[in-house]
């Protein structure tokens, strides 16, 4: 799949930073606040850290109160209709804030507006929105904002030109938190699963250079971060476009070689590219979490083929078995789509059977959502919403039962966890995660946040474990 890899030079990013300084100077001493509202996946969270990085260089502080904000940036998701409806509803609500602050600037960015029909919807039906830009234009945010901010008559700016995608290094970041960090290793996807909009809005797969990723990981460790999550739509195909003979497993080893006590996690893996080399590397690298998110989507081979997933249930089960042979304590989670067009009740039962065989620690289950422009959107779909809801509820019951049973197995055991925050609850006031990513609530001093501690598990339920520091 030939595509043009577009690298944005560091000089261009420095030019954007100059514009940030210019905006900062023009806005003067007057205190100003920005609100960055993020929808969707971890990749969007990571993109919002870049938008906040630029805004901080313009002298903005941050708020999540739209009536206080001088600028609001809504970073959108297009993965399901529900996500888009929520965004449109909330953007509509901003009418009130804009009435209270007529000079307020409202920007909408991200995957939803990279779809032409949604950008047009914003243009026509949401006049309060001043600027719209897609994921590929994020690096130009300062330049686009300047066009709006300093235009004589408030000019609306729309930048969503389709492209295969860019790679931009050096954009300033304002990270959320100081314990766990997102680290993007690649962008885009070449898999074109027939239900998925991501390849159309995030472009072709393009990996960051290993030296840039390792340098960023080193900075994170030096800054005291205790957990680094490597991000990509399909991390297992990392490096294929670089021609450097460095694959994802090699990258994990490079990061594992960085001195310090920290944990490496990653998402998302596509089963078709999950290799024995990866599982062996995860088992041998002491900093790599024994956690694998391996979306199966369906347990029926005809449906998997119609989804263009490039594996069948037998291959998938073999991979799970192989991964567990290297890491018996591996925590495996998955994504499942219920009600893919044409799926029958019998075919759905194959999904239930596969889940009962794998016994996932957690399952993220969704009812199929038609995405404009994807092949599945035009496939015949006889099953009613009610039929699909019945299947969904059945799958959820299976998922919760297995999760509860697996959590109960931890009771009485002592687990090493990373304390990552406060729950706001009196009894179990701290939250933490095991190596495998299981949620553990414990009692303890907030000074433990950012520390690895041993916790004895007292009790559990479907969603979490409860215990005390040993
Ligand atoms: S692998 Fe498939 S489901 Fe995942 S982002 Fe790519 S096209 Fe979408």
**Ligand 1 centroid, distance to 431 Cα (angstroms):** 31
- Mean pLDDT over each residue of the chain, to the nearest integer: 96
- 391, 347 Cβ separation under 8 angstroms: no
364 lines ligand 1 (CB under 6 A): no
Proportion of the chain above pLDDT 70, given as a percent: 99
Comparing CA positions, the residue from 258, 213, 254 lying closest to residue 231 is: 213
374 lines ligand 1 (CB under 6 A): no
**Ligand 1 centroid, distance to 193 Cα (angstroms):** 6
- Token couple for 440: 């553990």
421 lines ligand 1 (CB under 6 A): no
Strand order across the beta sheet in which 105-110 lies: 61-62, 33-38, 71-76, 105-110, 131-133, 157-159
For 308-339, write each residue's pLDDT tens digit: 999 999 999 999 999 999 999 999 999 999 99
For 69-122, write each residue's pLDDT tens digit: 999 999 999 999 999 999 999 999 999 999 999 999 999 999 999 999 999 999
What is the rounded average pLDDT of the residues 444-460? 97
**Ligand 1 centroid, distance to 234 Cα (angstroms):** 7
- How far, in Å, CA of 394 to CA of 325, rounded? 30
- How far, in Å, CA of 418 to CA of 423, rounded? 14
Asked if pLDDT for residue 3 goes beyond 80, the answer is no
**Ligand 1 centroid, distance to 348 Cα (angstroms):** 21
Question: Which residues sit opposite 459 in a β-bridge?
Answer: 466
Asked if pLDDT for residue 1 goes beyond 50, the answer is no
Give, in order, the Cα–Cα distances in Å from 98 to each of 113, 142, 153.
21, 21, 17
Asked if pLDDT for residue 190 goes beyond 80, the answer is yes
Closest CA to ligand 1's atom 8: 196
Query: pTM value?
Result: 0.95
């Amino acid at each position: 799949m030939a595509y043009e890899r577009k690298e944005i030079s560091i000089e261009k990013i420095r030019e954007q930073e100059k514009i940030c300084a210019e905006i900062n100077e023009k806005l003067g001493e007057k205190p100003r606040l920005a609100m960055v509202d993020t929808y969707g996946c971890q990749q969007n969270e990571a993109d919002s850290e870049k938008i906040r990085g630029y805004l901080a260089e313009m002298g903005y502080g941050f708020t999540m109160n739209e009536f206080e904000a001088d600028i609001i940036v809504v970073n959108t998701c297009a993965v399901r209709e529900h996500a888009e409806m929520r965004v449109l509803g909330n953007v509509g609500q901003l009418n009130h804030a804009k009435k209270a602050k007529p000079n307020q600037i409202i920007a909408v960015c991200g995957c939803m507006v990279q779809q032409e029909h949604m950008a047009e919807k914003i243009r026509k039906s949401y006049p309060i929105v001043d600027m719209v830009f897609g994921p590929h234009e994020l690096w130009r945010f300062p330049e686009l904002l300047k066009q709006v901010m300093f235009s004589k008559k408030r000019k609306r700016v729309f930048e969503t030109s389709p492209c295969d995608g860019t790679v931009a290094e050096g954009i300033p970041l304002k990270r959320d938190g100081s314990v766990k960090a997102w680290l993007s290793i690649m962008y885009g996807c070449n898999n074109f699963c027939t239900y998925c909009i991501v390849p159309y809005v995030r472009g072709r797969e393009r990996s960051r250079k290993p030296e840039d990723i390792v340098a960023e990981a080193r900075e994170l460790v030096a800054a005291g971060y205790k957990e680094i999550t490597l991000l990509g739509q399909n991390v297992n195909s990392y490096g294929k476009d670089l021609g450097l003979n460095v694959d994802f497993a090699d990258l994990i080893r490079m990061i594992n070689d960085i001195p310090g006590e920290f944990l490496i996690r990653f998402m998302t893996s596509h089963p078709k590219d999950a290799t024995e080399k990866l599982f062996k590397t995860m088992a041998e690298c002491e900093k790599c979490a024994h956690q694998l998110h391996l979306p199966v989507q369906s347990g029926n081979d005809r449906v998997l083929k119609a989804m263009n997933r490039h594996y069948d249930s037998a291959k998938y089960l073999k991979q799970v078995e192989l991964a567990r042979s290297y890491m018996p304590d591996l925590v495996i989670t998955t994504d499942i789509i219920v009600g893919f067009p044409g799926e029958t009740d019998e075919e759905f039962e194959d999904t239930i059977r596969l889940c009962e065989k794998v016994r996932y620690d957690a399952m993220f289950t969704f009812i199929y959502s038609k995405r404009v422009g994807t092949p599945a959107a035009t496939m015949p779909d006889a099953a009613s919403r009610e039929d699909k809801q019945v299947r969904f509820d059945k799958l959820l019951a299976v998922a919760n039962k297995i999760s509860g049973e697996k959590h109960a197995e931890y009771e009485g055991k002592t687990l090493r966890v990373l304390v990552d925050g406060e729950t706001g609850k009196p009894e179990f006031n701290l939250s933490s995660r095991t190596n495998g990513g299981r949620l553990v609530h414990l009692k303890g001093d907030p000074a433990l946040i950012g520390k690895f501690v041993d916790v004895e598990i007292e009790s559990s339920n479907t969603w979490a474990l409860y215990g005390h520091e040993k």
